[in-house]
Amino acid sequence: MLQRLDLRGVDYILTKPRPAVANRVPVDQAKTVVLPRPEIAGEAPRSAVKEIIEAVKARGDAALLDYTKTFDGVALDQLRVDPSALQDAVDKLPSELRLAMEAAIERIELFHHHQLREPAIVETDGVRVEAYQKPVGRAGLYVPGGRAEYPSTVLMTAVPARVAGVADIALCVPPNRANGGVAPSVLAAAHLSGVSEVFAVGGAQAVAAMAYGTESISPVDVIAGPGNIYVALAKQEVAGDVGIAAAFAGPSEVVVVADATANPDFAAIDVIVQAEHGPDGLAWLVTWDEDVANSVCAAGDRILASAERADDVRATLAEGGYVALVDGPDQAIQVVNAIAPEHLELQCENADQLARSVDNAGAIFCGHTSPASLGDYVAGPSHVLPTFGSARFSSALTVTDFLKDHHIVTASPEGLSKLGPHVVALADQEGLAAHAQSIRLRTDQTS
């Protein structure tokens, strides 16, 4: 099920080659391993994405309809889903599913309300600075489709935006190939979580439409949500013209760290869970016990024998599935920090303590009864997480992705008199005479 790597006795564990570092063992005297990682994309996908974006900018809705027919096999008359369909989808939800959505919304709201900051006022030396947050005016959410329906992703993106105070939330989701519609569960989740409008469009073309606008889709201020490699690359391309929430939210990833206390079935199913999302993903088992490696792989084979998406999972694991043998917990964390996975599960002793030593991971799940699937649906934090190593510098989607910090500075004459000379000294040093003069004119006339 998994490709095996023996990392025992390795000094440096990297995900790409790096030069020697001062005061460390020289590279040529150390045992260094560069961990395998799927290529993010070649030139062909990047070129295709750029072409799609330019076409949408030039042709608007016509380009969206053409790409929807080409990529999704659906000929649509309009892109916007009738608003009445959202309420209708809620009315027809099975009771258990509606209760599940409402429970998830409640927990997501509760968690994200704690991320809001109260306005702050700092006043010293006659200068008053007020800091406060304001939401963006319009957010665009992307929810994958095609291979499956993801109402959970609607909740995990729309609820944080609504908690942030965003008044206008647009949602793009690929239409169903069978009937050209959007899955009722997705529409219901959109209505329950406060989405303003839904559009049946996916892929890089949806990202372009939200970034630049078309006849049907008004441009947004921030785009959030995961997607395949083309969606992720499109967000990279439009970044700067529009805000891109969180980090590179691409194909799913998991690292499971397991020791002899782990249940092989639990570890195996959790490796399979993220591979179930489709191609280009990454799934690792890391252990310092060969018996654990063998038993987890055997359990995985048993589970896959009857899995609904066995072929998809096997294809993903063939390209991005690994079991790494390490010397112990410390080296396991070195592997984790090098991979910087989207999801990390610690199915081992002292999991809570070990979690504190992790520097790079999108979300950490501690203990044998804390699977990543809990975080995918109801734990509270958003399941939109950084992938492809971007957990080194980024985090999960939060309300701050939909907020802007505003600052108001008010100086009294006394404050300007006291701090003005410092401005003059710094401005003169930088050769910015007008900056210094803006202070001198005021202090001369108010003294």
The CATH number of residue 370's host domain is 3.40.50.1980
Is residue 148 scored above 90 in pLDDT? no
Mean pLDDT across the stretch 59-67?
A: 98
Domain limits for position 181: 43-245
Task: Report the chain's mean pLDDT, rounded to a whole number.
Answer: 92
159/301 same-domain check = no
DSSP 112-137: HHTT----EEEEETTEEEEEEEEE-S
Catalytic residue among 237, 253, 276, 342: 342
Backbone φ and ψ of 363, nearest 5°:
-150, 140
Q: Is the pLDDT of residue 121 over 90?
A: yes
Do 231 and 256 sit in the same domain of this protein?
Answer: no
Q: Is residue 274 part of a domain?
A: yes
Q: Using CA atoms, how far apart are residues 282 and 321, in angstroms rounded to an integer?
A: 6
Question: Helix 184-193 vs helix 83-91: angle between axes, to the nearest 10 degrees?
Answer: 100
Measured on CA atoms in the order 144, 148, 153, 154, is the torsion positive or negative?
positive
Does 340 map to a domain?
Answer: yes
Residue 167 lies in a domain: yes
Residues 192 and 275 in one domain: no
Statement: residue 22 has pLDDT above 60 = no
- Do residue 238 and residue 256 come from a single domain? no
* Of the candidate ranges 119-133, 192-206, 303-317, 326-340, the one whose mean pLDDT is the lowest: 303-317
Q: Which residues contact 118 (CB under 8 A, 6 or more apart)?
A: none
**Domain shared by 269 and 386, yes or no:** yes
Residue 23 pLDDT? 55
What integer pLDDT is reported at residue 247 of this predicted model?
64
Across 144-148, 293-297, 370-374, least confident range: 144-148
Instruction: Judge whether 280 lies within some domain.
Output: yes
Query: Does 23 map to a domain?
Result: no
Which of 184, 215, 245 marks a domain boundary? 245
Residue 419, H or E segment: helix 413-430
Q: Which residues contact 37 (CB under 8 A, 6 or more apart)?
A: 15, 16, 282, 339, 388, 389
Residues 147 and 75 in one domain: yes
Domain boundary among 226, 245, 264: 245
DSSP H or E run through 437: helix 433-446
Q: Examine the domain organization and report whether 170 and 232 are in the same domain.
A: yes
Domain boundary among 245, 275, 297: 245
The reported pLDDT for the residue numbered 43 is: 77
106 and 194 housed in the same domain: yes
284 part of a folded domain:
yes
- Given a contact cutoff of 8 angstroms between Cβ atoms, the answer to whether 401 and 245 are in contact is yes
Place 29 in a pLDDT band, splitting at 50, 70 and 90: low
Inside any domain, residue 20:
no
297-314: average pLDDT = 90
Alpha-carbon dihedral 369, 374, 380, 384, rounded to 10 degrees:
130
Query: Which of 320, 263, 257, 311 lies closest to 288 in space, CA to CA?
Result: 257
Residues 321 and 440 in one domain: no
Q: At what angle do helices 203-212 and 43-59 cross, to 10 degrees?
A: 50
If phi over 0 gives left and psi between -120 and 50 gives alpha, with beta otherwise, what is residue 246? left
* pLDDT, mean of residues 405-427: 96
Token pair, residue 276, equals 């179930």
Q: Evaluate if residue 214 carries a pLDDT over 90.
A: yes
Q: Are residues 78 and 215 in the same domain?
A: yes
| Torsions phi, psi for 284 (to 5 deg) | -120, 140
Q: How many domains does the chain have?
A: 3
Report if residue 24 sits inside a domain. Answer: no
Decide if 54 is catalytic: no
Q: How confident is the model at residue 20 (pLDDT cuts 50, 70, 90)?
A: low
Confidence bin at 28 (pLDDT 50/70/90) = low
What are 65-118's pLDDT values in tens digits?
A: 999 999 999 999 999 999 999 999 999 999 999 999 999 999 999 999 999 999
Any bridge partners for residue 169, and if so which? 139
Would residue 343 show up in a list of annotated catalytic residues for this protein?
yes
Choosing from 112, 191, 277, 343, the catalytic residue is 343
Do 254 and 373 have their domain in common?
Answer: yes
Q: Examine the domain organization and report whether 48 and 197 are in the same domain.
A: yes
